[in-house]
Amino acid sequence: MIEIRLKAELEAIATTGLTRRRRVLESPCGRIAAVDGREMLNFASNDYLGLAGNAEIAQAMAAGATQWGAGSGASHLVSGHLAPHEALEKEIAAFTGFPRALTFSTGYLANLAVTPTLAGRGDAVFADKLNHASLIDAMQLAKANGADVQRYPHNDMAALEKMLAASPAAHKIIVTDAVFSMDGDLAPLPLIFALAERYDAWLVIDDAHGFGVLGPHGKGSLGHFNLPASPHILLMGTLGKAAGVGGAFVAGSETAIEYLLQKGRSYIFTTAAPPAVACALSKSLELIRQGDALRANLMARITQLRDGLAALPLRLLPSLTAIQPLIVGDNEATLKLSSALWERGLWVPAIRPPTVPKGTARLRISVSAAHTEADISRLIGALKELA
Ligand SMILES: *Cc1c(COP(=O)(O)O)cnc(C)c1O
């Protein structure tokens, strides 16, 4: 009986204290989250620029729904590609500097479309060990398509170069997060790009946490490192984090994007996102482009937090980004600290293995441009008292 097996596994999860539960928010995503009738200061979302609850974007979505209806009605290649989708693609291409872009309903689907479509038998894929789960799943699909998939130790350029040099593959693809989601650190993209050029490889970059946050105008990690929109780069960005709405894009050369459009299964076999989402995203892109004040506030809050926590006995990982991980180590101690913060009205999630390596359980503090100086002071004060 499948039912019996599932129950046993759920019980096993419960006995190891790893059962996950969802908190129900009774308010829109923002610096304050209403939960169980309480007002929690929110350090748990990926809404880095505070745009998820932005009124102009919500209005663009409402106006979009009025004009274009609720749903797209079909996949992009059948009849679901409406004018707002087309406009958004062009705006993203112009913003990122690539010749062309394709939009997806989620970043997960975008990642599933890229590597498994580009890499098959005779090809090799080289992936950072700390890549996001969606990229790991994409690697499984690439493997099923016959690609040789190798994982290199986190940001280890010597190991990556050795693998590239030793591989006899016809086509090579390097896949990396630009900002690692549990550590907040950056991939050394200029070095990886140089290796990609030296070994005639393509470079697939997942900029889920850099887009909107890093670089001039929030163009992301490529802008941060001043890297070109090279035909050897495919840039993926998500639109549900800093962009505050939902969805994702892949930008690249005319040929690469046309190929994904023709062959990417997770692009082809799914209904296009509601057109109103595209309308909201066009507005969000505009706010990101003009969002220097938001980014300046975000960076000031990050600096304030890092300075404030410097003397703490716990280690704050070296991160320039909105993701600020505070390493506790022990699973139970991490949970306790997270609960104690919760009691004080501060929502900071505990991240434990297997999401992160054993012995590195942590608080994952997400800073947002919506946070005030007083908000960060409150968190620093509580952590000083509890840690
Ligand atoms: C969140 C995330 C994704 C998935 O994006 P969704 O739009 O949430 O599906 C992919 N890659 C990374 C690095 C992420 O953090």
Q: Do residues 333 and 191 share a domain?
A: no
- Distance in angstroms between the alpha carbons of the first and the last residue of the chain: 47
Q: How does DSSP assign 236-277, residue by residue?
A: EEESSSTTSS--EEEEE-HHHHHHHHHH-HHHHTSBPPPHHH
Q: Are residues 281 and 249 in the same domain?
A: yes
Q: What is d(CA 365, CA 378) in angstroms, rounded to the nearest whole number?
A: 13
Same-domain check for residues 158 and 229: yes
CATH code for the domain of 108: 3.40.640.10
pTM given for the model:
0.97
Note whether 177 and 218 are same-domain residues: yes
Per-residue pLDDT tens for 135-159?
A: 999 999 999 999 999 999 999 999 9
* Residue 2 forms part of a structural domain: no
Same domain, yes or no, for 35 and 148?
A: no
What mean pLDDT is reported for the chain? 97
- Asked, for residue 355, whether it belongs to a domain, the answer is yes
Residue 4 lies in a domain: no
Residue finishing a domain among 229, 257, 289: 289
Q: Which sign does the torsion angle of CA 47, 52, 55, 56 carry?
A: positive
Q: Are 233 and 360 in the same domain?
A: no
The mean pLDDT value for 252-264 works out to 98
Q: Is 107 in the pocket of ligand 1 (CB under 6 A)?
A: yes
Angstrom distance (rounded) from CA 358 to CA 331: 9
The reply to whether 178 and 59 lie within a common domain is yes
Dihedral-angle region of residue 212 (phi above 0 means left; psi in -120 to 50 means alpha; beta otherwise): left
Which domain-ending residue is among 238, 269, 289? 289
Residue 18 in this model has a pLDDT that exceeds 90? no
The pLDDT, as a whole number, for residue 92 is 98
Residue 105 has pLDDT above 90, yes or no: yes
Q: Token digits for 250?
A: 């892949």
Pocket test for ligand 1, best of 238, 281, 323, 355 (most atoms within 8 A of CB): 238
- CA 73 to centroid of ligand 1, rounded, Å: 25
Q: 289-309 pLDDT, tens per residue? A: 999 999 999 999 999 999 999
Domain count, the chain: 2
- For residue 189, tell me if it sits in a domain: yes
CA angle 186, 191, 194 (to 5 degrees): 140
Contact (Cβ atoms closer than 8 angstroms) between residue 106 and residue 240: yes
Cβ of 106 closer than 6 Å to ligand 1, yes or no, is yes
Q: Give the pLDDT confidence score for residue 387 in this predicted structure.
A: 87
Residues 344 and 239 grouped into a single domain: no
E strand or H helix that includes residue 50: none
Same domain for 180 and 220:
yes
Last residue of a domain, one of 259, 289, 319: 289
In a domain, residue 13? The reply is no
- Token digits of residue 30: 């923002």
Residues 6+ apart with CB under 8 A from 20: none
Ligand 1 centroid, distance to 13 Cα (angstroms): 25
Q: What is the pLDDT of residue 283?
A: 98
What pLDDT digit, counting tens, does each position of 148-195 carry? 999 999 999 999 999 999 999 989 999 999 999 999 999 999 999 999
Confidence band, pLDDT 50/70/90 cuts, at residue 19: confident
Across 289-322, b (16+ Cβ under 10 Å) vs e yields bebeebbebbbebbebbbebbeeeebebbebbbb
Indicate which residue's Cα is closest to atom 2 of ligand 1. Answer: 208
For residue 108 and ligand 1, the question of a CB distance below 6 A is answered with yes
Main-chain phi, psi angles of 359, to 5 degrees:
80, 5
Q: What is the pLDDT of residue 109?
A: 98
CATH number for the domain that contains residue 305? 3.90.1150.10
Domain that holds residue 379: 20-49+291-386
Q: Exactly one of 241, 253, 266, 283 is catalytic; name it.
A: 241
- Residue 250's beta-bridge partner residues? 102, 236
241 within some domain: yes
For residue 5, being part of any structural domain is answered with no
Asked if 283 and 91 count as a contact pair (C-beta separation under 8 A), the reply is no
Based on the fold, state whether residues 158 and 197 are members of the same structural domain. yes
Q: What is the pLDDT, as a whole number, of residue 61?
A: 98
Confidence (pLDDT) at 17? 79
- Report the distance separating Cα 287 and Cα 196, nearest Å: 33
Instruction: Read off the pLDDT of each residue in 79-92 and give the average, rounded to a whole number.
Output: 98
Q: Is residue 190 part of a domain?
A: yes
Active site residue 224: no
In terms of domains, do 105 and 224 share one? yes
On whether both 68 and 110 belong to a single domain, the answer is yes
